[in-house]
Structure 1
Amino acid sequence: MYDRLRAEIVAGEFDAGVPLVELSLAERYGVSRTPVREALRRLEQDGLVERGERGMRVRTRSPEEILEIYEVRISLEATAAWAAAQRRTDFDLVRLRRAQDAMAATAADDPPAMAAANRAVHEAIWAAGHNGTVVDLLSRLNNHLTRYPATTLSVPGRWAEALDEHEAIIAAIEQRDAERAHDLARDHMTKARELRLRIYRDESA
């Protein structure tokens, strides 16, 4: 139930702000209200739904929210890269290189595959920092961004640029240059924020 409803919300089958009525959803999916209520609770934790005046509803999108998400994400991604440079193991480097090579081999005309490959590189960096709290927080933030499905990697020139930026971050991690890894990751995510805002403006125009 949770997986089906989450997938449909992410796919845009429910418009932002639309009320999510337990009875209607139970009839839609052929289940009782109990699993619907549990799914809505989990989706609220994910940041995909919110409480409105008439119950739960699909969370609305806004440029202010994008700024809020990235304000935290920029800081955490920079912290993750810094920690990775400090604590990475040889095995972490192998995983980083494999993820980067897989991203480089991904077709630049397949947005879902591009987004997945990019996420794998970031997750490898998070893991190399060996800080479970940072990984958990970044994973939760990523849930919020699923409501903005268009990937910034589809912006002309961004795919190649992101690959180069990843390469520089990984090199800094390999060299245990924590400050450089921090600054590169911060700049990388700052660019992503600006592109995300541009996409939102274009879609809202």
Structure 2
Amino acid sequence: MYTSMSTDGHNVDIAAPGTGGSAADKVYYGLREDIRAGSVYPWDRMTEKTVAAHFGVSRTPVREAVGRLSAEGLLQRHPDGFGLVLPSAETISGLYEARVAIELQGIRRVAEGRGEYDRARLQRQQARWEQVVAEPPAAEPWLTAWDEEFHREILAASGEPALVDVLSHINDRIRALRMYGYIALEQLVSSARDHLKILEALLVGDYAAAQAALEEHIVSTRNDSLARALQGSGAAGFTRRAPSLVTPEPSHRTPTEFAPESNEEKNR
């Protein structure tokens, strides 16, 4: 049985009904959590109507919440609604460079004697990914949430909480692309084995090997996800975690949607 093991506080900030938040806050936090949990796929389209019905509110707070999430780079508008952001190739390159630098900093911190790893956190992740290798679940785009949790957890385990927040923001910008890496079983198992290789090196204190394995993993999964996205892979046959949130018919995105972003999007 696969369960969430996140302990870094990123899955507990939903403004639940009755806690004093406005309707717009309820939609904003709830939809952001749905996105981060992998409930919205790269080819999905949402509308004010579907989101309003999902959260039991009118369209006005939905409009406000979507505006906030768009300003933060999680969503973008389309003629047929709105969906996850697929960044331009240039933006993807820059975001992944930043991601590599941030994640390697956690390892360097411990390697340089400025902290120690929380071994319990690493071992919890090790148990999960050993299970994935031994009994692979069906490949599903929402499993990206597990991958994000893995990378947040190993960074948090190094004692870099501020960098975890920065990494989460980067994850929000590249989530749609990363989901393409979890639509094929072979890529899921390959990523799981990469994760175990990184964890094994960290647990024995071979930080040079861990840095090399981490960087190789991030670069290879980026390349695989980008290739699948450019091929137009995906769309049909996957489990829906929140089917009421999206329009009934998936909207296939094409490689042309990896076009240069507007100046507003680049400056987020």
Give the TM interval when normalised to the shorter protein.
0.7 to 0.9
**Alignment equivalent of 1:108, drawn from 115, 122, 137:** 137
Q: Secondary structure at the match of 2:177?
A: coil
Change (3 A) 1:201 1:84: farther
Count of residue pairs brought into register by the alignment: 193
Counterpart of 2:219 in structure 1: which amino acid? T
Per residue, is there more helix in 1 or in 2?
1
Q: Which residue matches 1:2?
A: 28
Q: Which residue matches 1:76?
A: 102
> How far is 1:36 from its partner?
3.8
Change (3 A) 1:192 1:129: same
> How far is 1:134 from its partner?
1.2
Change (3 A) 1:117 1:14: closer
In 2, Cα distance between the equivalents of 1:135 and 1:69?
Answer: 15
Q: Which residue matches 2:150?
A: 121
In 2, Cα distance between the equivalents of 1:45 and 1:80?
Answer: 29
Q: Secondary structure at the match of 1:157?
A: helix
Is 1:65 the equivalent of 2:123?
Answer: no
**Alignment equivalent of 1:94, drawn from 99, 117, 120:** 120
| 2:140 and 2:182 in contact (8 A); partners too | yes
In 2, Cα distance between the equivalents of 1:5 and 1:105?
Answer: 29
**Alignment equivalent of 2:165, drawn from 118, 136, 153:** 136
Counterpart of 1:47 in structure 2: which amino acid? G
| 1:48 and 1:144 in contact (8 A); partners too | yes
In 1, Cα distance between the equivalents of 2:189 and 2:70?
Answer: 35
Q: Which residue matches 2:246?
A: none
Q: Which residue matches 1:31?
A: 58
Please give the root-mean-square deviation of Cα atoms over the aligned residues, in Å: 3.5
Q: Which residue matches 1:150?
A: 179
> How far is 1:31 from its partner?
2.8
| 2:28 and 2:65 in contact (8 A); partners too | yes
Change (3 A) 1:136 1:119: same
Query: Once the two structures are superposed, what CA deviation does each residue of 1:57-100 show, in whole Å capped at 9, x if it has no partner?
Result: 757523333223212212222223333555334xx212212212
In 1, Cα distance between the equivalents of 2:182 and 2:110?
Answer: 24
Change (3 A) 1:41 1:108: same
In 2, Cα distance between the equivalents of 1:198 and 1:183?
Answer: 23
In 2, Cα distance between the equivalents of 1:45 and 1:177?
Answer: 41
Change (3 A) 1:132 1:41: farther
In 1, Cα distance between the equivalents of 2:103 and 2:174?
Answer: 15
Is 1:14 the equivalent of 2:42?
Answer: no
Q: Which residue matches 1:185?
A: 214
Q: Secondary structure at the match of 1:47?
A: coil
Change (3 A) 1:117 1:50: closer
Identity %: 24
Counterpart of 1:124 in structure 2: which amino acid? E
> How far is 1:105 from its partner?
1.5
Structure 1 spans left out of the alignment, 5+ residues: none
Counterpart of 2:121 in structure 1: which amino acid? R
Q: Which residue matches 2:191?
A: 162
Structure 2 spans left out of the alignment, 5+ residues: 1-26, 233-253, 256-268
> How far is 1:138 from its partner?
0.6
